[in-house]
Amino acid sequence: MEDMRKNILSFKPGRSVFQSPSRNRNDALQELLLTMQSSEATDMNMLKDLQCSVEYRKEHNQFSKQLAELGNLHEGIKLKMAKLQKCLVVQAVESVIYEKLNAFHMAIAEVNNWQEDIRCHTSVRRILPWARDSMMRLHFLSKFLDDARNEKGGAILNPILVYLPHGNNKIHELFLELFNKAAIPMIQMIWHWVVRGALNDPYDEFFVQYNSDCTMDEWHEQFVLRKDFLPSVINSSLGKLITATGKVMNFLNKYYPEKCSEIIEKRKNLYDFQEFSFPLLVNKEDEFQHYIKDIYTENSSIFLKMLEEKYMLSSFFKNIHDFFFLSQGHFARHFMISMYSEYSKSVNDVSLNHLNSLLASAIGEMMTMKSSDRIFNEVIVHLNTPTEKDTVADVFTLKYQMSPPLNQMFETFEISYRKIFRFLWSKNHVSYLLSNCWRSLRGLLRTKNLTEDLSYNLKRVYLFNNQLMQFTYQLDFYMIYEIVDRWWQTFMLCYKESNDIEEVLCSHAKMLSSILTGTLQKKHQAEVSIQLRHIVILISEIEELITNIYYFINNQNFSFEDSSLIFSAKVDVLLNTAETAVNKFSSFLKSCRHIHGLLAVYERINFNDYYKRDNDKTEKPLPKPTNVYTIKESTSG
């Protein structure tokens, strides 16, 4: 203030400002000082209506307008602050700006005092340098408020950071003061979230938001990062790290409160804002990020240890692995036998309770030791959303039921679990059908007194059935050992070596995605999935054909008519169609030179003799009979 007084008094105007020396210059200055802080000065045209009889020299009109513009800026800043969204950061900004406006009023009051002192020859031209300095500050504050009008929380810091590196030291100091003051509420919310795992956000301005709509997948969706609320000094990766750190503390608070209290007590010093102030964010050495990273690493290690000791995370992963392979082995075969009569029925004709009772019966017969067969207690039948014509086979799968808190982190993967199980189950079901066909064909070929044409066609079906079994066995080996088991072992290795819960979850997600890709279930592989589905349908038709043959041979009263499908023609069409479908899929495998596993599957599938039969002159085809029988198709079996 004293510097301002000296600057004003040291300025010596070259000539009088007023045309009429009879008028008191103090009256004119008083009029201008009132205008500089008047709410009525928002319109610069009102300068013409000033209630002052002093007439200015024309060359000094600009001085008057510049001084009066201060009133316009002053009033405009107050109006713009009233339009800001209410939050803690805005309150901090307002406190600084109101302090500057109060200082402006005090300066004008001081000028009033000086002009009343007969020793001070204050004039319009004397106060103009001070006024220009004040005007520049108010002008930048006004621009800042325009930029911050639609912002909230940490985003309000971004316009401050734009003006912070200004070359004028006074402007730089003004915005540095704004930055330090406005940052305090933000750093308080960050530390409260990071240290306590709780949100202290009464105005919904923090960049971590609580999602009240979340009911199950709490880890991924209950607390979300709002990137629009991040200050530019906190990049997206640091924002995610802060979010994850608080989530870990939040879960520890819920499921391990005794340890959480110990951690909070240990980190009480972080609330000392003199040492851990927000300017750490602009530190080029990333000191703030290192603080957060250290906290996250320690908390995550404690969290994983808690999940392992209290909630048996390793056992959970083992159960998921075992759940995938429930589709294989004795249990799968036993359950498929129980489900056989229901599999081809419409979804609307079978109740879910009935299927669950079949599952419970199969589990009851298969369980030996409850401790080693815990997985059986966690599965239920699940039917995917059916269409009007879907059968049970189209939508059937099993679902693994998870318990808290693991379900809150892994529920998001539940659909992937079901997809993998269903694929392995469907693959094994095809093998089951082919085995049944092989067994039935072996029995039929031993039947005495078969006609020549029937024996010929049975051998054709038997040969192709063997080729399909070879095809499915090689796919089975590839899918289970080179895809599912390989990626599972990779994931478990990562889990055992990691102390980071987010790393474990990301590795788990990558494992599931890789398995789905390897089993050809991603959207971009839809055409290949359709090919496989077509092969499965053809295998079902082969089974139906064999069933019809069985009834024809063993049922003496089985009726057949001339209008029925000719058996030989039916075999020709079916086998040619199936051969084409398998050959097409085999060609796809051959084209996958960038996927070594699939190329190896192609090389292992021994279809060469079968597909090259027409070109191999040394191989004699089966003799074709002359007699042809017609068979009426049976819908039973």
Residue 627 lies in a domain: yes
| C-alpha span between 548 and 441 (Å, rounded) | 12
Is residue 203, in this structure, part of any structural domain at all? yes
DSSP annotation of 101 reads: H
- 543 is a domain residue: yes
Q: Which candidate, 5, 103, 17, 97, places its Cα nearest to that of 63? A: 17
Instruction: Tell me the one-letter amino acid at 299.
Output: N
Q: What are φ and ψ of residue 601, in 5° steps?
A: -60, -45
Report d(CA 183, CA 133) in Å as an integer.
Answer: 26
DSSP state of 384: P
Distance set, CA 621 to CA 35, 369, 573 (Å): 112, 54, 18
Q: Are residues 286 and 332 in the same domain?
A: no
Give residue 67's pLDDT band: very low, low, confident or very high (50, 70, 90).
low
pLDDT tens digits for 183-222?
A: 889 888 998 999 899 999 999 999 999 988 876 667 888 8
Residue located via tokens 């529920």: 411
Same domain, 112 and 206: no
Q: Are residues 247 and 383 part of one domain? A: no
Q: Is residue 73 packed enough to be buried (19+ CB in 10 Å), middle (13-18) or exposed (0-12)?
A: buried
List pLDDT tens digits, range 470-489.
888 888 888 888 889 989 99
pLDDT tens, 319-329?
A: 999 899 887 77
**Which domain, by its residues, includes 361?**
312-401
Is 415 within the bounds of a domain? no
Measured in Å, how far apart are the chain's first and last C-alpha atoms? 103
Residues 470 and 608 in one domain: yes
Task: Return the ∠ at Cα 542 (arms to 428 and 581), rounded to 5°.
Answer: 80
Residues 556 and 464 in one domain: yes
Dist CA 420 CA 320 (whole Å): 11
Q: What is the number of helices (H) and of strands (E) in the chain?
A: 24, 4
Whole-angstrom distance, CA of residue 156 vs CA of residue 162: 11
Rounded to an integer, what distance in angstroms lies between the CA atom of residue 93 and that of residue 154?
Answer: 12
**Burial of 106 by CB count in 10 Å (0-12 exposed, 13-18 middle, 19+ buried)?**
exposed
Q: What is the DSSP string of 134-178?
A: HHHHHHHHHHHHHHTTT--GGGGHHHHHHHTT-SSHHHHHHHHHH
H/E segment holding residue 235: none
Residues 494 and 596 in one domain: yes
Tokens of 165: 């590196």
- What count of other Cβ atoms lies within 10 Å of the Cβ of residue 341? 10
Within 10 Å of residue 49's Cβ, how many Cβ atoms?
A: 9
Please answer whether residues 239 and 227 qualify as being in contact, where contact means their C-beta atoms are separated by less than 8 angstroms. yes
Against a cut of 0.85, is the pTM above it? no
Final residue of a domain: which of 401, 420, 447? 401
Amino acid 569: pLDDT: 75
316 and 282 in one domain? Answer: no
pLDDT at 631: 32
C-alpha 181/C-alpha 96 separation (Å) is: 7
265 and 239: one domain? yes
Confidence of residue 593 (pLDDT cuts 50, 70, 90): low
Shared domain for 349 and 443, answered yes or no, is no
Most confident range (mean pLDDT) of 61-75, 486-500, 548-562 is 486-500
Q: How many residues does the chain have?
A: 637
Give the pairing of strands 223-225 and 379-383: unpaired
Confidence band for 116, pLDDT divided at 50, 70 and 90: low
DSSP secondary structure code for residue 620 in this structure: P
Do 519 and 483 meet the contact criterion of CB atoms below 8 Å apart? yes
Q: How far apart are CA 521 and CA 515, in angstroms?
A: 9
Q: Which residue has the tokens 């703030």?
A: 288
Residues 483 and 627 both lie in one domain: yes
Residue that is last in its domain, among 253, 276, 311: 311
- The span from the CA of 140 to the CA of 527, in Å, is 61
Say yes or no: 223 and 269 in one domain.
yes
Average pLDDT over residues 501-513: 94
Q: Say if residue 539 is in the same domain as residue 635.
A: yes
CA distance 463 to 472: 15
The answer as to whether 423 is a domain residue is no
- State the pLDDT confidence band at 615, using cuts at 50, 70 and 90: very low
